[in-house]
Amino acid sequence: YGEIADAVGEGCPPALHGVNHYVTSERWLDDRLDGYPAHTHGGNPWRRYADVEAVRACPEQARGPASLLMEVWARYQRPLAVTEAHLGCTREHQLRWLHEVWGAAHDVRSRGADVRAVTAWAAFGTHDWSSLVTELRGDYEPGLFDTRGRHPRPTALATMARALATSGRFDHPALAAPGWWRAEPAADGFPAPMAPRRAHGPRSVPRPILITGARGTLGVALTRSAAERGLVCRGLSHEELDVRDASAVGRILDQIRPWAVVNAAGYVRVDDAEIDVDSCHRLNVQAAATLARCCADRGIGFTTLSSDLVFDGAKGAPYVESDRPAPLGVYGTSKARAEARVLAIAPRALVVRTAWFFGPWDNWNFLTTSLRQLAEGTAVVMADDLVIGPTYLPHLADALLDLVIDGERGIWHLANAGGGTVADIVRRTAERAGLDASLVQGCPSARLGYRAPRPAAAVLDSERGRLMPSLDRALDCYLGTRAWERVDAEALTA
């Protein structure tokens, strides 16, 4: 305080004190270095210590924004404003942090502090603040608006800021659960006392996101991602809910009362669809339409998944959302018809097109099976005339859930930026994994026994916003999991 007073002088007091406080601003310093990762070790000329986030190491010692605002008020007795309120995280945690700061400002104001404003910082997002701008990674964090499209796109944060500024109130189903800094702590292994989180009184049971097809590849990814993010979700398999049965769907919706439904169910056997047209149509078209209608009747947000196979590959460039579908096979036709039916029934529905999944939780995707064979010294034969844009499942799940929270509608393309032939992508991945890429043999797709026609080049791009990291980043993330070295016995025998 003395230094500030000396700097401004008694005759020039500040009109307002600005407080920039972040979730991780409060630090826990511990001289027991052995229990902490090396990157947390720091110190000064006199002492060595680990410097970690108080909310992770000992949550009971972290006071939070209300306590800190009261401390500033008690010391300076001058008008206050929160001049930065931002969190680089997934959308629901961004909402939860701004909501907590807003509540803290009103709390201390009710106790006599002269709090004038809360500023939602980073209206248009930030670049590389994940490293405090010390590295040029290209990491982008959306703020009130997401600028990765042709025009700034308002996120749920913008809706929240507008509501708070005009009415002082905002509600969203994602706010029913606590932020990660208020949830049960993870077992970080720190020696600091891991006390229980503060009790914040009884909470109502949050309305969930309902995910159909929960045992499928995408359903598993979505439920895992939602759980990691603290989003309450309920996953139902085909055995638990026949999505073709309107009565059953209606009963489940009335019973569970979800605020959003994501349809990850459907017919996925592209080649079998050529000789099983009726089943493919019922699961991909009729079921999606049934879910859309039941959700629309109840005012529930609805999202369904579509595919790059709605295109014929003749464009000669990546496809964007406004390109006209021209499917080649039965599966692609079913997805194109489902898109049209869903948006006709529920114009506010979200339709996400994606392609060629790969990820750490699926034993059967093209990369995991290929790398597993290469690790055994077995040659792999892949198409060298099909240009694809693969999608890393964790990235897809996170981007999709952000769009659901934002209340987005219409058709969106979600795929990692970049592409190549199937054979080339497997070779690139093998080289990064330290495997023998020469064992990857390219051949025309006509020799691979496909029954269904495939587009020669159906890479997805977006005119609405490139929300996914690059394919190179996705491959690095995937390789870090060493998924091909693990075999999920249950999945292999399912």
To 10 degrees, the CA torsion angle through 130, 131, 137, 139?
A: 10
φ, ψ of residue 417 to 5 degrees: the values are -75, 120
- Distance, CA of 312 to CA of 336 (rounded, Å): 12
- Distance, CA of 319 to CA of 310 (rounded, Å): 10
- Distance, CA of 9 to CA of 113 (rounded, Å): 23
The three-state DSSP-derived secondary structure of the chain is: CHHHHHHHCCCCCCCCEEEECCCCCCEEEECCHHHCCHHHEEECCCCEEEEEEHHHHCHHHCCHHHHHHHHHHHHHCCCEEEEEECCCCCHHHHHHHHHHHHHHHHHHHHCCCCEEEEEECCCCCEECHHHCCCCCCCCEECCCEECCCCCCEECHHHHHHHHHHHCCCCCCHHHHCCCCCCCCCCCCCCCCCCCCCCCCCCCCCCCCEEEECCCCHHHHHHHHHHHHCCCCEEEECCCCCCCCCHHHHHHHHHHHCCCEEEECCCCCCCCHHHHCHHHHHHHHHHHHHHHHHHHHHHCCEEEEEEEHHHCCCCCCCCECCCCCCCCCCHHHHHHHHHHHHHHHHCCCCEEEEECCEECCCCCCCHHHHHHHHHHCCCCEEEECCCEECCEEHHHHHHHHHHHHHHCCCEEEECCCECCEEHHHHHHHHHHHCCCCHHHEEEECHHHHCCCCCCCCECCECCCCCCCCCEHHHHHHHHHHHCHHHCCCHHHHHC
The catalytic residues are 331
